[in-house]
A = this chain, B = another copy of it.
């Protein structure tokens, strides 16, 4: 019972062993992450189309709940770029940005997503995330990065623009370009340039100045805070608000409020599919980060418990004025590098953000939105990695097709269609490849008991015997192919007396394939040709045993192909009969 409770509440486990050293490490990490998260949370809320405080709220209660239920010591849960984009795309379909309905729909999205993750976790269905292949994920993240960066250009230019796809955005930007605010653009470009320089140029310079790597790293990570600070000061000092620079404005000074997601059937119906998509993508991002970081310290992550942790975090977001959250890459890496030892670091971060929400929000009144856009652009462009196209092209055209389709469709038709098409295409290509499996005719490698393809190796054969190694599971999509292939091979060779199907690579035989095997046996029997099997694996033989096919098989089932060879090839009788 205790064991079971501990499985669902990892905090009971690490909480008992919590000591002063862990406390120190966790506190330091929390301070660093908090400083980084303040501008980031505001920026991602902007990306999601929500008021800035929603980003802060989404980082407080969710992070606490994850600390109770999650299994990663370093994962930092909160708003992330891709999920914010998905939120904007989904909620934008049911409500207008800036309305109360929009914020409520975002809560509903978090609620549905949390519920779905929780269900997956309780029923231990985490494997469904595996249906997203690496190429599809890579393509999707790259395309999302491009979409997100493009979506922020309107803030940099200080114009109104809309759209959820690249062509829509570009068209909208182009037609509103004449409204560009020069002051906004100046701040935006300066901030973007500064942040790129901080990212690429600052750290080596600081190290060259003799700073410790840890300190250099912290200063680098504080770049966005510096940009926020400087542009806020300038905007306030020069009254740039009056010159058309859009600012964040009033942000309520408050702890996360208690909120209720909208639960009308219409709203749920409209948001259910996007919520599932957000859950799966968020889970994949989070679990990848968590496993990468855990592996570095030889710790283990339990994917099903992670689902529960993320589910709880999203439900928390739904009831405290947030929107869908997940474990973020950037914030988790910072947390890890800063020395976070347990999930308590997350709890301390939540406390830091709560203080910020209560005390610091007036300070961001004059913060220009263009600065937040600059932080987003610099952050997401690091996600864009087009080399995956080249890598997959070299390795496999099939994987390349999945990446390319995901990128192109995400950019052209939006994130939902893009990722769904990527998944369906990669599954279809996988299935398609099994429709016409590779079949090797094999012979004995001289001096061994090993059998290989006669076209690739110098092997011994025997004219009255043909051994076909079927390199695929036999199931309905290739059942007919198997029959055609065997019968075609038999038709071209009248000396044949025996056919061996070598099943070393056959991991399953379904009912359709079983019927086909029966048919092959019947047809070969009519032709006076023996049908044999060799190297049938245990699980496959368990199933075949006692079927009509094995009972009526005109030949034998050999344990090894060598046994089959010895029994059939050395028989002089069929040779003499030629």
- A residues neighboring B (CB under 8 Å): 127, 130-136, 295, 391-392, 395-396, 398-399, 426-427, 430-431, 433-438, 440, 445, 448-450, 452-453, 456, 471-473, 475-481, 504-508, 510-512, 514-515, 523, 537-539, 543, 547, 559-560, 562
Contact = CB atoms under 8 A, between A and B. Distances in A.
A128 to B, nearest CB: 9
Contacts of A559: 445, 450, 452
A180 B448 CA distance: 80
Cβ-closest 10 pairs across A and B:
A133-B476, A399-B511, A449-B449, A134-B512, A450-B560, A471-B507, A130-B477, A504-B504, A505-B505, A133-B512
B130 A510 contact: no
**Copies held by the complex:** 2
B479 A537 contact: no
Contacts of A514: 395
A433 B508 CA distance: 9
Contact of A435 (B130, B430, B562): B130
A399 B512 CA distance: 9
Contact of A505 (B130, B134, B481, B504): B504
A440 B507 contact: no
A560 to B, nearest CB: 4
A512 B560 CA distance: 32
Nearest to A547: B395
A508 B436 CA distance: 13
B135 A562 contact: no
Nearest to A129: B480
Contacts of A473: 434, 472-473
B471 A133 contact: no
Given A430-B475, A475-B430, A543-B396, A507 B437 contact: yes
Contacts of A436: 127
B476 A539 contact: no
Nearest to A539: B438
A300 to B, nearest CB: 9
B130 A480 contact: yes
Contacts of A504: 504-505
A285 to B, nearest CB: 14
A140 to B, nearest CB: 13
Contacts of A396: 510-511, 543
A132 B512 CA distance: 10
A304 to B, nearest CB: 12
A471 to B, nearest CB: 4
